[in-house]
Structure 1
Amino acid sequence: MTITQLQYVLAVAEHQNFTYAAQKSFVTQPTLSMQIQKLEDELEIQIFDRSKKPIQLTEIGKKIVEQARSIVNESGRMQDIVDQQKGFIGGEFRLGIIPTIMPTLLPMFLKTFIKKYPKVNLKIEELTTEVIIKKLNEGHLDAAIAATPLGNDQIKERILYYEPFVGYTTENHRLYDKKELVTADLDIDDILLLEDGHCFRDGVINLCKVPRAIDHDHFQLESGSFETLIKLSNEDLGMTLLPYLHTLDIRESERKYLRHFAEPRPAREVSLLFHKSELKMQIIEALRTVIMSIVRGAIAFHNVEIISPVQK
């Protein structure tokens, strides 16, 4: 049994196709198939049910894959242990960021980080919170930036900053004349939301204290971007809520539509996430330090009420 064989097994389990798994593993399909067959012969079991399309794991195969993932991940951390002992900050680092944070936060810290730590090879993906948790647990990400708390025992959270919700309402809206908003002002039937799958959407629904599984005609107006929500609001189709950092880049002509909440301001907690067994702590700490030093100048709210991003 070899680490390479286990890596091939994980590739097929992920892609459910021998040819595609071989391409992703940079080997020929016969080589990958032969190595997996050798492993199955050695263990005297069948890991994959090849009669099904796409290829499925057998019951024993599911247990083998779980153990293989743990072994491969741990073997890959050998170099991490050495780097940590030497205090070396470099190497590949895979970072996931949720869509409602990526456009505003990434431009703020990326240039500074890569200049300060040129030996770190950052690989950044825009992913939903659900996918981030899955990839952290499977060892496909080293860390992520998302709204918290998530309440996952396998994932550690290091708080970066608190980002208040900000109302956006035009002249014809009932809340336009209010200087400050309070939670009681909000009506879920009157708020334009991001499409399902965004944790900021779930945070808004939790803020309004209504069940997530509600069904109103209003929810036909959903979008994947804050820019679209702002345009819809400008057409008097409802108000919307924005994360504070997004409001810093809003057009001057639209700033009069922004309405802050009275203290304690409802806010989302933004954290750096990593698996509890992660060893690249020197890079994680470097990333956290850079982000906090930069964001501190743009956002410094302390009297806030944290709104959970977890679906209720």
Structure 2
Amino acid sequence: MTITQLQYVLAVAEHQNFTLAAQKSFVTQPTLSMQVQKLEDELDILIFDRSKKPITITEVGKKIVEQAKNIVNEAERIKDIVDQEKGFIGGDYTLGIIPTIMPTLLPMFLKTFINKYPKVNLIIKEQSTENLIRNIEDGHIDAAIAATPLEVEFIKERPLYYEPFVGYVPNNHRLKNLDNLKPEDLSINDILLLQDGHCFREGVINLCKASKNYDDEHFQLQSGSFETLVNLSDEGLGMTLLPYLNTLSLDDTKKVNLKYFNAPSPAREVSLIYHKSELKIQITEALRDVISGIVRGAIAFQDVKIISPISK
């Protein structure tokens, strides 16, 4: 039994196809199939049922796949130990970021990080929170930036910053004459929301539920981007809420429509999340230090109340 064989087993288990697993493992399909077969012969069991399309994992195979994940992770930890001992910060590192954070945060820290740590090959993927959690569990990404708390048993959360909600209120809206907003001023009936699947949307809904201004039975306009929500607001279709960093790039004609909340301002907690096994922790810590240092200066708000992205 070898680590390579276990890696091939994990690839087949993920893709349920020997050809695709071989492509993802950068080997030929006969080589991968032979090594998996060799392991099955050694253990005298079948890990995969090849009679079905797509192939399935046998009951004993499921137990072997789970153990293989642990063994492969522990093998990779050995390299981590050596890298940490040598003070080396480099190698491939895959970072996932949720869509409502990526456009504003990535330009703020990326150039600084790659200049400071040129030996890190940073691979960045934009994904939903649900996909990030699954990919962290499967080992396909090393860490992610998401709204927290998530309350996932195998994930460790390290807060990076707290980002206040800001109201975008057009001229014809009922709240236009207010100097500042309070959560109880909001009504879900005239707030434009992001589409389902965005955690910021869930945060806004939870804020309105907490303020008792929530009604499931009403018409909602929904969009996949904050820019579209702002434009729809300008057309008189309602107000919207924006994360603070998204307001920095608005032009002056739109910034006059911004309204801030009285303290404590509702806010989202944005964290660096990663598996509790803490593989590549030296890169994770370097990334956290760079992002925290940059964003701390951009967000001056301190008195905030965290709104969970989890529906209650």
Segments of 4+ moved more than 4 angstroms: none
Preserved CA contact (<8 Å) 2:195 2:223: yes
Instruction: Check whether the contact 1:132–1:144 (CA below 8 A) recurs between aligned residues.
Output: yes
- On the 8 A contact 2:189/2:215 being kept in 1, the answer is no
Residue in 2 that maps onto 1:159: 159
SS of the residue corresponding to residue 171 of structure 2 reads: coil
Residues 32, 272 of structure 1: alpha-carbon distance in 2 compared, 3 angstrom cutoff: same
CA distance in 1, matches of 2:162, 2:236: 30
Question: 1:10 touches 1:69 (CA, 8 Å); kept in 2?
Answer: yes
Q: Which residue of 1 aligns with 2:15?
A: 15
2-side partners of 1:278 and 1:299: how far apart?
A: 28
How far apart, in 1, do the equivalents of 2:75 and 2:285 lie? Answer: 22
TM (norm. structure 1) is 0.95
Q: Percent identity?
A: 71
Distance 1:280-1:214 versus aligned 2 partners, 3 A rule: farther
Find out whether 1:148 has 2:148 as its counterpart: yes
Quick one: distance in 2 between partners of 1:309 and 1:174? 27
2:188–2:205 CA contact under 8 A, matched in 1: yes
Aligned match of 1:196: 196
Q: Offset of 1:141 from its aligned partner?
A: 1.7
Q: How does 1:279-298 map to 2 (within 5 A)?
A: 279-298=279-298
Q: Which segments of 5 or more consecutive residues in structure 1 lack a partner in the other structure?
A: none
Q: Distance in 2 between matches of 1:115 and 1:216?
A: 51
Give 1:152 deviation, angstroms: 2.0
2:237 aligns with 237
| Inter-partner Cα distance in structure 1 for 2:94 and 2:151 | 22
| Residues paired across the two proteins, number | 310
Q: For residues 51 and 190 of structure 2, what CA distance do their matches in structure 1 show?
A: 52
Write the distance in 2 (CA, Å) between the matches of 1:22 and 1:280.
Answer: 25
The whole-number CA distance in structure 2 between the counterparts of 1:271 and 1:145 is 6
> How far apart in 1 are the matches of 2:52 and 2:237?
49
Q: Hey, what does 2:127 align to over in structure 1?
A: 127
CA distance in 2, matches of 1:37, 1:178: 71
Q: How does 1:21-100 map to 2 (within 5 A)?
A: 21-100=21-100
Report the secondary structure of 1:125's partner residue.
strand
SS in 2 for 1:297: helix
The residue identity in structure 2 corresponding to 1:227 is: E
Query: Residue 296 of structure 1: CA displacement?
Result: 1.6
AA partner of residue 252 (structure 1)? D
Residue of structure 1 equivalent to 2:169:
169
Instruction: Give me the whole-angstrom Cα distance separating, in 1, the residues matched to 2:59 and 2:222.
Output: 40
User: What letter is aligned with 1:150?
Assistant: L
**Which residue pairs with 1:227 in the alignment?**
227
Alpha-carbon separation, structure 2, partners of 1:234 and 1:62: 54
TM-score of the two chains, using structure 2 as the length reference: 0.95
SS at the partner of 1:209?
Answer: helix
**Is the partner of 1:296 in helix, strand or coil?**
helix
- Amino acid paired to 2:202: D
Cα distance in 1 for residues equivalent to 2:131 and 2:311: 15
> Contact 2:169–2:175 (CA<8 Å) still a contact in 1?
yes
Contact kept in structure 2, 1:113 and 1:287, CA below 8 Å: yes
Residue 218 in 1 paired to residue 245 in 2?
no
Task: Name the CA distance, whole Å, in 2 between partners of 1:72 and 1:272.
Answer: 23
Contact 1:22 1:29 in 2 (8 A): yes
Does 1:256 find its partner at 2:224? no
Q: Is the 8 A contact 2:76 2:279 kept in 1?
A: no
Q: Distance in 2 between matches of 1:145 and 1:19?
A: 33
Cα deviations by residue, 1:193-236 (Å, 9 ceiling, x for unpaired): 1111111111111111179x9754523x2211111111111111
Contact preservation (8 Å) 1:89, 1:119? yes
Deviation, 1:187, is 1.0
Distance change in 2, residues 1:15/1:217 (3 Å): farther
> Alpha-carbon deviation of 1:300?
2.4
The answer for the alignment partner of 1:112 in structure 2 is 112
Question: Which is worse superposed, 264-273 or 224-233?
Answer: 224-233
Structure 1 residues 39-62: Cα deviation after superposition (integer angstroms, max 9, x where no partner): 122222221222222222122221
Taking only aligned residues, the RMSD between alpha carbons, in angstroms, comes to 1.7
